[in-house]
Amino acid sequence: MKYSTPTDCFRHWLHKLALVLAGALVALMACTTQTEQPGKSQALTTPPSEDTKAEQSSNANLPPEAAPPQVLEDMPVSVAPSSRDEIMVTARKHGRTMQENASVLYDAAAGSTFAPHPGQLDHLRMPSEPINRENYAHLDSNPVRLVSEDPVSTFSIDVDTGSYANVRRMLNDGYLPPQDAVRVEELINYFSYEYDVPKNSRTPFSINMEVAQTPWNPDTHLLQVGLKGFEVEAANRPDANLVFLIDVSGSMQDPDKLPLLKNAFRLLTNQLGADDSISMVVYAGATGIILEPTPGNQKARIMNALDQLSAGGRTNGAAGINLAYQMAEQGFKADGINRVILATDGDFNVGTVNFEALVDMVEERRKKGISLTTLGFGTGNYNDHLMEQLADEGNGNYAYIDGLNEARKVLVEELSSTLQTIAKDVKIQVEFNPAVVAEYRLIGYENRMLRREDFNNDKIDAGEIGAGHTVTALYEVSLVGSNSQRIDPLRYGEDKARTLANGERRQDELAFVRLRFKQPDGDVSTLIEQAVHRNEIVNLDSASPELAFAGAVAAFGQALRGGEYLEDFGYEGIRKLAVKGRANDPHGYRGEFISLVDLADSLSVQTNDRVAAR
């Protein structure tokens, strides 16, 4: 036979192979039956029992698809069947199970599209490990930029911490996280830093800046921009109208999902008082209200509602979000906190499942003064991408709960930060002085970048900062004339490095930092400006513990993402830097980070050994 293309040849011989394999399976089943079943003469001379008669009578009334598999009879197999129809006819004589086996094998080998019955493939193969359907957005790391071409960097702040806890979960489970699961700014902002405290809520945060030698490259410098939010004591926190939106679908039945979720909400409930209000909405394939607005001091009633929760069904998350916002509007507190707290694995599979549509839905609801906090739970099917974006568009924050200690951190220790917004639409813009700085690179914040013109546009949404929150951003900068510049100068480009637009030379300034924010109930932004001077640069040994520790976390995040800009700086160097910056660590979070660095170091060695052995 001649073939017009190599593909036709491949298909022809694959078809032949499928027929042979299917025939072999039928023969094998027949041989097995011959050795295991009594002879036909014995079966005919043995009278059936009363139970057997009853069973046969009952089976005669069943539809074909419900009848039990027939006993296989002797089947001569001298020649392999030559077509799918022959295989099916032969197999049909010997029971439905035989027919299914042959059909599945034929279709699978021949590459046909088929829809197996539930459980049809279970006897053919068993998965060697759980299927991982976790979803993370792909983000390329921020590149190095030439100040002469692009002197201004603009981005929105981010107070989410979900990536750090999720990375911790993976490391503790014995494997390195995928690079897309690591958002470096969320690792850095997981930790609090000892920045100056603002004096009052009208200027809701302080700006703290420091410049020191870069730990992984002595020829560059780290510029740290740190914000510290105004702190609000628990007794002075405004009354809260909270809606617990809880996923009770079948995917939430694992111990690290609904059971952990219930314990987390019990911790939160214990922090609320008589002037606070709690509603509870659940969703699976359908949605429902299991707790109407209830004062926070009626803890037995709230706890009882939590105790009744169990997992089952599919996941109509969009319907749950809609109902939760309706409940929040019903109990709206004009001068209080109005927030929906969504707790789920993010695996929406019924109703509105389109990512953009879900984000648009939340974006529309935030205009009514209701914020959205997302709490992520579980593994295997976790949708980090959706959880992070819903919180961003809902003027809220995102945390991943990998254990009860993390639940306590988010919902007890940092409750005011989690619930109470003190400034919204916070944007940072840094203009680098081309007379002093040749190149810069923002570490992290890849999905928070804004256009230059967005900074002065109050219609552009940006991040929120909660009471007492700290936010840290790090730039790696190369000074003019240093040996660390990564981009070659243009042969025919204009030398702008030492020329300013107004002809004035400012050799004493590295950069000029601008910050815009709005009051929680405001629509017009306020501008804050501050220069960073060249004489503020210090050696790494003289850097503060806060810069040292933030630098260690930044290096750790970059290492997990491939370490493109880290030179030869590895986990050992990260550990030493983190130890130097550990300083005041009342809750042990920085000490835990050092342990994670050691763990990642060990896991990376194992991974490299496995790769080398292949």
SS3 244: strand
Residues 243 and 223 in one domain: no
Q: What is the pLDDT of residue 72?
A: 32
Is 563 domain-assigned?
yes
SS3 449: strand
Give the total residue count for the chain: 614
- pTM given for the model: 0.77
Q: What is the pLDDT of residue 367?
A: 87
| pLDDT tens per residue across span 39-84 | 433 433 344 444 444 444 444 443 343 333 333 333 333 344 445 4
Give the residue from 65, 85, 110 where a domain finishes. Answer: 110
Is 134 domain-assigned?
no
Residues 281 and 394 in one domain: yes
Report, as ranges of residue numbers, the positions in the chain whose pLDDT lies below 50: 33-82, 84, 87, 91, 93-100, 102, 104, 106, 108-110, 112-114, 350, 496-503
Q: C-alpha distances in angstroms, 414 versus 34, 77, 109, 234, 411?
A: 71, 73, 57, 10, 6
Residues 394 and 446 in one domain: no
Domain that holds residue 72: 6-110
Q: What is the pLDDT of residue 317?
A: 73
Residues 322 and 180 in one domain: no
Q: What is the pLDDT of residue 5?
A: 62
Alpha-carbon distance of 340 to 396, in angstroms, equals: 9
Residue 595, sorted as left (phi over 0), alpha (psi -120 to 50) or beta, turns out to be alpha
Q: Which residues partner with 146 through β-bridges?
A: 439
Alpha-carbon distance of 425 to 222, in angstroms, equals: 26
Alpha-carbon distance of 141 to 443, in angstroms, equals: 8
Residues 247 and 332 in one domain: yes
Is 176 domain-assigned?
yes
Q: What is the pLDDT of residue 214?
A: 97
Residues 103 and 195 in one domain: no
SS3 201: coil
SS3 388: helix
Alpha-carbon distance of 460 to 74, in angstroms, equals: 77
Q: Are 528 and 207 in contact (CB under 8 A)?
A: yes
Output b/e per residue, 170-194; b: 16+ Cβ within 10 A: bbeeeebbeebbbbbbbbbbbbbbe
Q: What is the pLDDT of residue 584?
A: 85
Q: Which of 142, 209, 213, 150 is nearest to 482 (CA)?
A: 213
Residues 43 and 184 in one domain: no
Q: Are 396 and 373 in contact (CB under 8 A)?
A: yes
The angle that helices 6-36 and 84-92 make with each other, rounded to 10 degrees, is 10
Residues 228 and 243 in one domain: no
Alpha-carbon distance of 312 to 285, in angstroms, equals: 9
Alpha-carbon distance of 168 to 563, in angstroms, equals: 18
Residues 302 and 390 in one domain: yes
Residues 474 and 574 in one domain: yes
Q: What is the pLDDT of residue 244?
A: 97
Q: How many domains does the chain have?
A: 3
Residues 409 and 274 in one domain: yes
Q: Which residues partner with 437 through β-bridges?
A: 479
